[in-house]
Structure 1
Amino acid sequence: MSSGAGLESLVDQTISVITNDGRNIVGVLKGFDQATNIILDESHERVQQLVLGLYIIRGDNISIVGELDEELDANLELSKLRAHPLKPVIH
């Protein structure tokens, strides 16, 4: 996703970010820059639910940024979810 209009509409909303190493971090998007570095507040890492608080993620480590359906998310049983690891990203 390019920065600008795509991420601008998600500021102050809860988003899910999948990093190049397969981590899934959920938090409130507070800001971003032209390199897609993002700042998340009230963030936590899935599946372990590690509380991260205010968190900055470098743009070159982001694979996917997506809007989060908070109602659907609240009903997930995270301990039962498993995903295959992502293949390495080649720049």
Structure 2
Amino acid sequence: SLTAKRKNFKANLSVLLFFVWFFQGTLKGFDQTINLILDESHERVFSSSQGVEQVVLGLYIVRGDNVAVIGEIDEETDSALDLGNIRAEPLNSVVH
């Protein structure tokens, strides 16, 4: 059943919110409006002058109407990233 699949579903995700926050964490639960429960989560803050900063958040609830994009993380590729040397302009807010 769908309920049983939801209980056993666990994935490491990237989540981009409309107001330009970029989260990563382990999906622990969700509902029909895409509200998400992320565990072991952190925000990645991008800057053009320094490496990517990771802000530890722990258990975090994300409201579904703020979610712009969700994607599953390839853990091998993600762990190989040298975040201290990655520079990027911060993203602009999403305009509706």
Q: When the two structures are superposed, what TM-score results if normalisation uses the length of structure 2?
A: 0.75
- Indicate how the Cα distance of structure 1 residues 53 and 84 shifts in structure 2: closer, same or farther if over 3 A, else same: closer
Which residue of structure 1 aligns with residue 36 of structure 2? 38
1:48 to 43, 50, 53: 53
Q: Which residue is 1:82 aligned to?
A: 88
> Runs of at least 4 residues of structure 1 off by over 3 A?
none
Q: Tell me how far apart the structure 1 counterparts of residues 31 and 62 of structure 2 sit (CA, whole Å).
A: 11
- Select the structure of larger CA radius of gyration: 2
Aligned length: 83
Q: Which amino acid letter does the alignment assign opposite residue 27 of structure 1?
A: G
* Aligned partner of 1:70 among 71, 75, 90: 75
Take 1:68 and 1:26, find their aligned partners in 2: how far apart are those partners? 8
Query: 1:86 deviation in Å?
Result: 3.8
Taking structure 1 as reference, are residues 58 and 89 closer, same or farther at Cα in structure 2, changes over 3 Å only?
Answer: farther
Q: Which moved more, 1:78-87 or 1:22-31?
A: 78-87
Structure 1 runs not aligned, ≥5 long: none
CA distance in 1, matches of 2:75, 2:87: 17
Identity fraction in percent: 48
